Structure 1
Amino acid sequence: MLEVIKNKALYILVGLVTAGFTICTEAKSQTLHVAMATSMQVEGSSKAPMGWVEFCEENAADCDAKPEKPVKVRLTAAKLAQLDAINRGVNAAIQPVTDQDLYGVEEKWTYPTDKGDCEDYVLLKRRMLMEAGWPRQALLITVVRDLKGDGHAILSVVTDRGDYALDNQVDDVKPWFETGYTFIKRQSQNDQNRWVLLGDGVGPVGVAAAP
């Protein structure tokens, strides 16, 4: 079996943080407001990032999956609390370091131990959510330009209330268009090894608050 997280102590730490939030899920469900977001607009096909291609060469079992029917997760307050827990837990446990400083290369996607780049945060959050029962088709690695105009990666979560963003730069889980980022491309829902171009998220329409 592929060892997902090499540092077992880190896995335990993140697990404890997640458990702490999960215990509070029932109480949170009474106060968390699940807003109605919108879905990202797919505008065409794109090439997979080289970091993903190389990641798959090193982690074949994680990438060897047949195309599947797209899924939208039913976003309850409890589900939102779980996203919040994992986003905050991983953000707290991993120290941000560039691939150049950590590995001596410009780009390397991998599961982090205690340090990592933005893509590493995304891979770990995605893996943890899948282990918690979330469908892979709803957990999409997404390439954006951040508020400084730099290349960045987040995890998009596709739900029945629109798409949400898990981000190592922000602890709060937000609707994708509230990030302020320019959206470039992400994995296809049908096939994680196919990538699609996205609209930039400026001025989304149809945004409404859920009752």
Structure 2
Amino acid sequence: MPGRWTTVLGGCALALAIIAVPGGAGSRAAGQPPAALTEAGETSVPIGWTQFCAHFPEDCRSRPARIETLALARAAWGQLTSINAHVNAAIEPVTDMEQYGQEEVWTYPLSGRGDCEDYVLLKKQMLVRAGLPASALLITVVRDRKGEGHAILTVRTDRGDYVLDNETDDIRLWHETGYRFVKRQSREDPNRWVTIGPASAPAAVASQ
């Protein structure tokens, strides 16, 4: 990526020492959703991801050497919160139709403008370059509170699945977002996608 993202990433380190890590997951109360999303089998790959990989094959390598869950220590939490906030501030939201004249263009926001998928792609790349495991950073399709298709980054941690979202700088557990989770990348292979199962909340179909 161009040097501008290196500059953004460099500024993130300043906030690490003052960010509190959320408490441990602990035991789950009766009726409380599970801390981690439940997956329920392989599903279709979004066309936007397929087209993105044709342009950026180096960022779509299959099968990580190890399947890792992120240990949510202070440094890792600081990287998540800082990069999420910095990318949200750096990119101007705009639809694919407004910018490209067509829907479902997944790409890095090189123009400084982009839609939800573009935010997610940049956040994932920056977090991987910062040393976080790619197998714990999963592009995810949801339905938002308006019932519209939306993309977020879910982070598989030892304290549950957290969400990075261009709609907010707050990082929350998946069940605190109000979203209906549909599908996401497989941890074993980013080019395979899996359905989010019914045990994870009311699932629904979203934009393919």
Give the shorter-chain TM-score range. Answer: 0.7 to 0.9
Of 105, 118, 126 in structure 2, the residue corresponding to residue 120 of structure 1 is: 118
1:100 maps to which of 85, 90, 97:
97
Task: Within 5 Å, give how 1:53-132 maps onto structure 2.
Answer: 53-66=50-63, 68-113=65-110, 114-132=112-130
> Aligned pair in 2 of structure 1 residues 47, 64: CA closer, same or farther (>3 Å)?
same
Selected match of 2:131 from 133, 151, 156: 133
Letter in 2 for 1:133: G
Local SS of the residue matching 1:34: coil
Matches for 1:13-92 after TM superposition, within 5 Å: 13-22=7-16, 25=17, 27-28=18-19, 31-36=20-25, 38-66=35-63, 68-92=65-89
Q: Structure 2: which 5+ runs fail to align?
A: 26-33, 203-208
- Which ranges of structure 1 fall in alignment gaps of 5 or more residues? 204-211
1:12 deviation in Å? 4.6
Rounded to whole Å, the distance in 1 between the matches of 2:197 and 2:177 is 14
TM-score by length of 1: 0.85
Question: Would you say the 8 A contact 2:64–2:134 is kept in 1?
Answer: no
CA distance in 2, matches of 1:172, 1:97: 21
Pairwise CA RMSD: 1.7
Matched pairs, number: 192
TM-score, scaled relative to structure 2: 0.86
Change (3 A) 1:180 1:56: same
Name the SS for the 1:88 alignment partner.
helix
CA distance in 2: counterparts of 1:59 and 1:33, whole angstroms? 34
**Letter of the aligned partner of 1:142 in structure 2?**
T
Shift of 1:82: 1.5
* SS of residue in 1 equivalent to 2:138: strand
Percent of matched pairs sharing the same residue: 48
Which ranges of 4 or more aligned residues in structure 1 deviate by more than 2 Å? 31-35, 64-70, 199-203
Deviations 1:81-132 (A, max 9, x none): 2110000000000000000001111110001121001000000000000000
